[in-house]
Amino acid sequence: ETGVTQTPRHLVMGMTNKKSLKCEQHLGHNAMYWYKQSAKKPLELMFVYNFKEQTENNSVPSRFSPECPNSSHLFLHLHTLQPEDSALYLCASSQLAGGLPEQYFGPGTRLTVT
């Protein structure tokens, strides 16, 4: 695998379900990000992890729970979501500490909450 991978690519879940999104980066980066993209809106930053430590939570509701066990893996645990949470969820990675700020994105998970 190369670059940034995300699974699953598509997910349909009910409001009472619990599911998790997975992201893995194969670029040797030390920072990882979760973004949400809703239709016709800019990408919204949700969470930032630097060297496995969460450094940013952009006022995200607690029904979204991130986990970063190491610099290569990032999860987003979902529970009791609302229909308005339906969106494309994108993971990205970058190299901090002397690197340029370019972030590299995975293909995203298209989430539908019914």
Partner 1 sequence: DQQVKQNSPSLSVQEGRISILNCDYTNSMFDYFLWYKKYPAEGPTFLISISSIKDKNEDGRFTVFLNKSAKHLSLHIVPSQPGDSAVYFCAVNQGGKLIFGQGTELSVKP
List residues near partner 1 by CB under 8 A: 4, 6, 31, 40-43, 45, 48, 56, 90, 92, 94, 96, 100-108, 110
Q: How far apart are CB 96 and partner 1 at their closest, in Å? A: 6
Nearer to partner 1, 85 or 108 (CB): 108
Q: How far apart are CB 100 and partner 1 at their closest, in Å? A: 7
CA distance 22 to 33: 12
Q: How far apart are CB 95 and partner 1 at their closest, in Å? A: 11
Quote the radius of gyration of the chain (alpha carbons, Å).
Answer: 13
Tokens of 46: 């949700």
Q: How far apart are CB 16 and partner 1 at their closest, in Å? A: 28
Tokens of 107: 């293909």
Nearer to partner 1, 16 or 39 (CB): 39
Give me the phi and psi of 84, to 5 degrees please: -70, -5
Helices (H), 4-89: none
